[in-house]
A and B are shown apart, each in its own frame.
Chain A
C-alpha cells in the first residue's frame, strides 16, 4: 500500500497548500516542506527496509521488490500497476530529496501566490514519482504527460523574464509543446505495441511485463522504438531536440530549475532504461551506434554552447546537455559497468546541478541579475558562497572525490570494451567541461569587482542546503557502493536484455 501513497502524498499536500494560503504565507510553505519530508522519509524507509541487492537474479521476469495493482480501465486491460525495484527506488528517493530542496530554496524567492506555487511544485513531484513507479504503459504515459502542466505553470507564472523578447511564457510554451508532441509519438508507439500484441493474442494489455514478451518484426519494432526514443530524447535532451532546454531553465524559478535539471531530465534516462531498451532490445542494439553518436554530439555541442553563454543559468542548463551526452553513451553501450555509471552520473548530476542552480538563484536574489558580465569579483564580498560554488563547479567538471567523477569514469570505463573510439572522443569532452566550468567560476567570482561593499552572506537555511548537497556529492564520490548495490539487480537485467540481443545480431 505504500507505493500509491508515495504518489498521492504530494498531490494531497499540494491541494492543502492551495487551500491554506488564506491562513498566511508561511502555512503553505510549512505544509509543502512537511509533505516533502514525509515523502523523503518514506523513500528512505523503503531503502532501509528492503533488500535490493539480490545476488544476480537471472530470468526474464523483472524482480520487483514491491508491487501494487488494481484494475482501472478493464476495456483495454489497463491497470493501476506500480512496482518498485532498485532503479525506481533510487529515483524516487532522489525526487523526494530534491523536492525538499525545491521547497526550501523557494522559501524567500516566491512571494506571490504562494499556495498555488506549492500546488504546482508538489504536483510535479507527484507526477515524477508516478513516472518512476508506473509499469503499466498507459499509466506511465499518464504521469509522463501530467507532470508537464504544473511545470508549465511554474515557468509561466513565477519565471523570470529573460532578455530580448525571451519571455517566460514563450519559454514555458516551448517546453510544453516539445515535450507533449514528442510524448504523443510515444503514445502512438505504445498503441502500436499494444495492438501488435492484440493481433497476436486477442488480449488488450498495457502491462510492461506482458508486452515485453511480444514478438515483433524487425522494422516494426525499430519504428516503435524510435517513437519511445524521440520522446525520451526530447526530455533528456539529445542534441537535435534540445531547443526548449536553455530557455526553460533560464526562465524558470530556482525551484523549477532544480526540479527540471534534477529529476525531470532523469525521467528520460529512466524511461530509456526501463522501457525503450527492455521493450525493444534488438532494435535498441541496432540503434545504439546512432544513439552514441548523438551522445557524442551532445557532449561537445552542449559544452560549446555552455561556453558561449552570458546568462549563468543558461550556462548551467547547457552543461546539462553535455552531461546527459555521457548518460546516453552509457545507456546504449549496454555493459553493466557503464549502466551502473549512468545511475551514479544521474544522481551526481542532480546534486551538482541543483547546487549550482540554487547558488545562481541566491545570486539573483542579491544582485537582481543573471548576467555574468555584470558579476565578477564576488569572491570575498559574499560570504561563504564562492567556496560552495567552487565545490559544485569542481564536481560538475568531474574531479575525483566527487560523485560525478565516479559516474563519468564508470561510463567511459564500461563503454571502452564495446566502443573504444567513442570513449576516446568523449573523453575530450571532459576537457571542455573543465574549460566552461572554470570560466563560470572566473567570470562570476574573480576578476575586477563590479560593485562596492559586501553583499548579504548565506543565511542558515541557504547554508544548510548547500552543505547537505556538498556532503552528498562527496559521499557519493567516496562510497558509490551505497547506490551501486541498490541498482545492481535492475541494471543487470537491463544489461542482460541488451547483451542477449546484441549476441543474437552477431
Chain B
C-alpha cells in the first residue's frame, strides 16, 4: 500500500517520539548533559502531544494492516504521552542525585513510550507483540537503573525473567490462534470466530494463553506475584511508569482485541476473566492490608484497580469503552500523583527510596501542601467523592449493574471496603506526630520545581474531574473505536 501524507500524519506521534530517541542518543554520544537530555525529552513528548491535534484530522485511518489510528487510539496515545511526560519530569528531579550515567534513562523511557503508542493503535497480533516488547524491554533497564542498590537490580531481573515468560506465553497463544485461523489481524480473527469456525479447543487455548501473557503485564491475580517486588525495588519514577503507561497501553489493546474479536462465544472465556477480575480485587486488597511500604502498597492497590477495570472486559458492551477511558484517566492521574509524592520525598536520589510508611509520619507538619496532595490521591484511590477516583468507581459499579455482573459488583464493594483500611492508614500516618528521628523529606522548594508543579497539577486535575467530570466524559465519549476496519 502507498503511504500518503495523511498516513504520515497519523504516524506523527510515533515518528516524533522515535526521532527524539535518536536525538537524545546522539546528544549523549556527543556530550553528556542531564538537563539537556531531559529538556529534549520533554520537548519531544510535548510535540508528540501537539501532533495529536493534527492526527485528529485524519482519523480514523488504517495505516498498513498492522496499525489503525482512530479516536480511541488518539485518546490513549494522549494519556500515554501525558503519563510519560509526568514520569520524565519526576525522573529529572530524582536522577539529579544519582552518581552515575543519567542520560540514558530518557532514551529508555522514550522507547517504552513508543511501544505504548504502537500498542494502543495496533489491530494485528504482530504489531501487538512488537509494541508489547518495545514497551517491556526498556523497562527492564529502567527498573534496574539504580543497579548499585540491590533491590533495584533485583527488580529489574525479576521483571525481565517473568516478562519474558509472559511474552513466551503470548507468542505461543498467538501461534495456536494462527494455526487455527490463518490470520493474525483482529478483524480477521473476529470474522472467523463469528462464523463459528473457530470454536475448537485450540482456539480457546490460544486465547487463554494470550490472556495469561497479558495478565502478567497487567499484573492481574493470579499472575501478580512480581508486582510488589518490582514496584518496591524499582526507582519511584519507574514504578510510576510501570503502573501507568504500561497498564494503559496493555489494557487499551486488550479492550480493542475483545471489542473487535469477541472470542467468547460460549462464555467460557468470560467466566475465566470474571474470575480473574474477582480474584484481583480480593487478592490485591487483602495483601495490601498489612503492608508497611508505600510502594508495595501502591503495587497491590494497582492489582485491585486493574481488577475493577477488568469488569469492563467482562461486560464488553454498553458503557464498556467509556468506562475504560474514564477509569484509566482517573487511575492514571491518581497513581501518578501518589508515586509523584513518593518520588519527590525520595528526590534527589540518595540510596533506596523513601518507601516505608514511617518515612511519611508527620509529613503534614513539615510539608502541608505535599501532604494534602498525597491525602487527595489516597482518597481518590479509595474512591471518595470530590476526587476523580469516585467518578471511576461510579463508572465501574455502573457497568457492573448495567450488565448484571452481580459477583463483580460485590467484589468491587468488598474490595473497596478492604481498600479503605490501608488507604486510611497511610493517610493518618501523614498527620501523626513526627518522631524525632532522622527523616526523608522533599526539598524545601519542591513546589517550584518541575516535578512539584506536575504533582500539583495532577492534584488539581483529580479535584476537577471529581467535581465536574462532564468535560472528561464528553471527551472520552467522542473517542470511538473502529471495529472490524
Instruction: State the A residues within 8 Å of B (CB).
Output: 72-75, 141-143, 145-146, 148-149, 152-153, 156-157, 169, 172-173, 176-177, 180-181, 184-185, 187-188, 191-192, 195
The answer to whether B290 has its CB under 8 Å from any CB of chain A is: no
Contact size range, B: 20 to 34
Contact indicator A169/B428 (Cβ below 8 Å) = yes
Contact indicator A72/B425 (Cβ below 8 Å) = no
For residue B419, give the distance in angstroms from its CB to the closest CB of chain A.
10
The answer to whether B460 has its CB under 8 Å from any CB of chain A is: no
For residue A234, give the distance in angstroms from its CB to the closest CB of chain B.
12
Residues A184 and B474 in contact in the complex (CB < 8 Å), given A146-B384, A191-B397, A191-B401: no
Write the B399-418 contact mask toward A (1 if CB under 8 angstroms, else 0). 00110000001001110110
Set of chain B residues within 8 Å of A156, measured between Cβ atoms: 424, 428, 431
A188–B414 alpha-carbon span in the complex (Å): 12
- Closest 6 pairs (CB-CB, A-B): A181-B417, A191-B401, A142-B385, A184-B413, A146-B385, A75-B473
Set of chain B residues within 8 Å of A185, measured between Cβ atoms: 413
The answer to whether B421 has its CB under 8 Å from any CB of chain A is: yes
Write the B380-406 contact mask toward A (1 if CB under 8 angstroms, else 0). 001011100010001001100110000
Contacts A180-B416, A180-B420, A191-B402 supplied; 15 other A-B pairs, CB < 8 Å: A72-B468, A73-B470, A75-B477, A145-B390, A149-B379, A153-B431, A157-B428, A157-B431, A173-B420, A176-B424, A177-B421, A185-B413, A188-B401, A188-B409, A195-B401
Q: Give the residue name and chain of the A residue nearest to B413 (CB).
A: A184
Q: Give the residue name and chain of the B residue nearest to A181 (CB).
A: B417
For residue A94, give the distance in angstroms from its CB to the closest CB of chain B.
23
| A–B pairs, 17, beta carbons within 8 Å | A73-B470, A73-B473, A75-B477, A142-B385, A143-B385, A145-B385, A146-B386, A152-B424, A156-B424, A156-B431, A169-B428, A173-B421, A177-B417, A180-B382, A180-B417, A184-B417, A188-B413
For residue A167, give the distance in angstroms from its CB to the closest CB of chain B.
10
| Most B C-beta atoms less than 10 A away, residue of A73, A142, A184, A195 | A184
A153–B378 alpha-carbon span in the complex (Å): 14
A152–B384 alpha-carbon span in the complex (Å): 12
Set of chain B residues within 8 Å of A143, measured between Cβ atoms: 385
- Which residue of A146, A177, A187 is within 8 Å of B397 (Cβ)? A187
A157–B430 alpha-carbon span in the complex (Å): 11
Write the B185-209 contact mask toward A (1 if CB under 8 angstroms, else 0). 0000000000000000000000000
Residues A177 and B384 in contact in the complex (CB < 8 Å), given A75-B470, A75-B474, A192-B401: no
For residue B474, give the distance in angstroms from its CB to the closest CB of chain A.
7
The answer to whether B469 has its CB under 8 Å from any CB of chain A is: yes
A185–B401 alpha-carbon span in the complex (Å): 12
Contact indicator A173/B424 (Cβ below 8 Å) = yes
Set of chain B residues within 8 Å of A176, measured between Cβ atoms: 420, 424
| Most A C-beta atoms less than 10 A away, residue of B385, B394, B401, B402 | B385
Q: Give the residue name and chain of the A residue nearest to B398 (CB).
A: A191
Residues A184 and B416 in contact in the complex (CB < 8 Å), given A149-B384, A169-B428, A195-B401: yes
For residue A70, give the distance in angstroms from its CB to the closest CB of chain B.
11
Contact indicator A173/B401 (Cβ below 8 Å) = no
Set of chain A residues within 8 Å of B425, measured between Cβ atoms: 173
A233–B310 alpha-carbon span in the complex (Å): 32
A146–B383 alpha-carbon span in the complex (Å): 10
Set of chain A residues within 8 Å of B468, measured between Cβ atoms: 72-73
Set of chain B residues within 8 Å of A152, measured between Cβ atoms: 424
A177–B418 alpha-carbon span in the complex (Å): 8
Q: Give the residue name and chain of the A residue nearest to B379 (CB).
A: A149
Set of chain B residues within 8 Å of A141, measured between Cβ atoms: 385
For residue B389, give the distance in angstroms from its CB to the closest CB of chain A.
11
Q: Give the residue name and chain of the A residue nearest to B425 (CB).
A: A173
Write the B415-446 contact mask toward A (1 if CB under 8 angstroms, else 0). 01100110011001001000000000000000
A48–B182 alpha-carbon span in the complex (Å): 80
A462–B477 alpha-carbon span in the complex (Å): 57
Contact indicator B470/A72 (Cβ below 8 Å) = yes
Contact indicator A172/B394 (Cβ below 8 Å) = no
Q: Give the residue name and chain of the A residue nearest to B406 (CB).
A: A188
Set of chain A residues within 8 Å of B402, measured between Cβ atoms: 191, 195
Q: Give the residue name and chain of the B residue nearest to A198 (CB).
A: B402
For residue A347, give the distance in angstroms from its CB to the closest CB of chain B.
28
A176–B378 alpha-carbon span in the complex (Å): 14
| Most A C-beta atoms less than 10 A away, residue of B379, B421, B474 | B421
A365–B387 alpha-carbon span in the complex (Å): 38
Set of chain A residues within 8 Å of B473, measured between Cβ atoms: 73, 75
Set of chain A residues within 8 Å of B428, measured between Cβ atoms: 156-157, 169, 172-173
For residue B364, give the distance in angstroms from its CB to the closest CB of chain A.
8
A225–B228 alpha-carbon span in the complex (Å): 40
Write the B468-482 contact mask toward A (1 if CB under 8 angstroms, else 0). 111001100100000
A143–B425 alpha-carbon span in the complex (Å): 23
Contact indicator B420/A188 (Cβ below 8 Å) = no
A181–B417 alpha-carbon span in the complex (Å): 5
Set of chain A residues within 8 Å of B416, measured between Cβ atoms: 180-181, 184
For residue B125, give the distance in angstroms from its CB to the closest CB of chain A.
34
| Most B C-beta atoms less than 10 A away, residue of A141, A142, A185 | A142
Contact indicator B470/A74 (Cβ below 8 Å) = yes
Q: Give the residue name and chain of the A residue nearest to B409 (CB).
A: A188
Contact indicator A73/B413 (Cβ below 8 Å) = no
For residue A414, give the distance in angstroms from its CB to the closest CB of chain B.
36
Q: Give the residue name and chain of the B residue nearest to A196 (CB).
A: B401
For residue B254, give the distance in angstroms from its CB to the closest CB of chain A.
25
A195–B394 alpha-carbon span in the complex (Å): 13
Contact indicator B469/A73 (Cβ below 8 Å) = yes
A148–B470 alpha-carbon span in the complex (Å): 25
- Which residue of A148, A157, A191, A195 is within 8 Å of B384 (Cβ)? A148
A173–B427 alpha-carbon span in the complex (Å): 11
Contact indicator B431/A145 (Cβ below 8 Å) = no
A188–B396 alpha-carbon span in the complex (Å): 10
Q: Give the residue name and chain of the A residue nearest to B468 (CB).
A: A72
Query: Quick one: which of B3-45 are within 8 Å of A by CB?
Result: none
Set of chain A residues within 8 Å of B477, measured between Cβ atoms: 75
Contact indicator B386/A181 (Cβ below 8 Å) = no
For residue A304, give the distance in angstroms from its CB to the closest CB of chain B.
29
A143–B417 alpha-carbon span in the complex (Å): 18
Q: Give the residue name and chain of the B residue nearest to A147 (CB).
A: B385
For residue B408, give the distance in angstroms from its CB to the closest CB of chain A.
11
For residue A145, give the distance in angstroms from its CB to the closest CB of chain B.
5
A146–B382 alpha-carbon span in the complex (Å): 12
For residue A18, give the distance in angstroms from its CB to the closest CB of chain B.
9
Contact indicator B420/A177 (Cβ below 8 Å) = yes
Contact indicator B413/A181 (Cβ below 8 Å) = yes
For residue B386, give the distance in angstroms from its CB to the closest CB of chain A.
6
Q: Give the residue name and chain of the A residue nearest to B431 (CB).
A: A157
A318–B401 alpha-carbon span in the complex (Å): 37
For residue B293, give the distance in angstroms from its CB to the closest CB of chain A.
19
A148–B386 alpha-carbon span in the complex (Å): 12
Set of chain A residues within 8 Å of B421, measured between Cβ atoms: 173, 177
A192–B390 alpha-carbon span in the complex (Å): 18
Q: Give the residue name and chain of the A residue nearest to B473 (CB).
A: A75
Set of chain B residues within 8 Å of A187, measured between Cβ atoms: 394, 397
Set of chain A residues within 8 Å of B414, measured between Cβ atoms: 181
For residue B202, give the distance in angstroms from its CB to the closest CB of chain A.
38
